[in-house]
């Protein structure tokens, strides 16, 4: 549908920001919503079950990093929202409770991808809608896969901790230094992030949208 299309830069930036906002807000709200269903109302009492963007702004992840990427012409926009507070001791199902809450975010991003795949197929051609749904789907796929990386504070770390439940010392160290490890991988090993997140994200998005991978890479 978009083969050979030329996307104006301003439309690409606007679509990226909208896609990022939708992805990170629904991701975080889903954590709080599932936590509330499992017995922890912390996010609810903090007003974090709202879809109001102001409630979820993180100075670095929502403002500074996306703006720096736009100004530097990085070719993509990425970021995150303020994490919702969760008291894991209030959750049902023992050690499985934190995992269910953690997976709620990536699962929501995947559902958004599926919805965008449907909307993309029924969108009228010669409008901005196909590109918009394509961008929202891609950004949500990237968020899903990135958050499944098993390094704290990402959601995938909760799955890793399930296998380390008898080694609280290792868990404590990972939680303490996880952010530095993650930043080190992003800065020093961009190839790993590319192969683990971005390449699969483009392939999955192309498959769900029914778009040839070459066309997806060309228009983005």
Q: Which residues are catalytic?
A: 28
Distance CA 86, CA 62 (A): 20
Burial class (CB in 10 A: 0-12, 13-18, 19+), 77: buried
Residues with Cβ within 8 Å of residue 101, at least 6 apart in sequence? 31, 34, 35, 38, 86, 88, 91, 158
* Angle (deg, nearest 10), helices 9-37 and 96-122: 140
Distance CA 7, CA 18 (A): 16
For the four alpha carbons of 181, 186, 192 and 194, in that order, the dihedral sign comes to positive
Radius of gyration, alpha carbons of the chain: 18
Distance of CA 102 to the CA centre of its chain: 12
Tokens 């609280």 belong to residue:
168
In this structure, what token pair is assigned to residue 15? 């679509």
């Amino acid at each position: 549908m978009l083969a050979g299309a030329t996307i104006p830069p301003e439309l690409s930036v606007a679509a990226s920001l909208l896609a990022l906002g939708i992805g990170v807000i629904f991701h975080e709200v889903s954590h709080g919503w599932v936590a509330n269903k499992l017995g922890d109302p912390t996010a609810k009492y903090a007003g974090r079950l709202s879809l109001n963007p102001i409630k979820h702004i993180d100075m670095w992840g929502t403002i500074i990093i996306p703006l720096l990427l736009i100004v530097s012409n990085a070719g993509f926009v990425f970021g995150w929202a303020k994490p919702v507070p969760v008291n894991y001791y209030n959750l049902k199902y023992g050690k499985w409770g934190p995992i269910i809450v953690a997976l709620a975010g990536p699962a929501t991003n995947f559902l958004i991808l599926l919805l965008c795949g449907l909307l993309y197929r029924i969108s009228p051609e010669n409008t901005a809608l196909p590109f918009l749904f394509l961008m929202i789907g891609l950004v949500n796929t990237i968020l899903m896969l990135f958050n499944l990386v098993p390094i704290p504070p990402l959601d995938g770390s909760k799955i890793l901790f399930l296998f380390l439940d008898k080694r609280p010392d290792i868990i404590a160290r990972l939680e303490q230094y996880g952010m530095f490890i993650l930043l080190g991988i992003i800065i020093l090993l961009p190839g790993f992030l590319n192969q683990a997140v971005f390449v699969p994200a483009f392939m999955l998005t192309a498959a769900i949208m029914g778009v040839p991978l070459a066309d997806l890479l060309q228009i983005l």
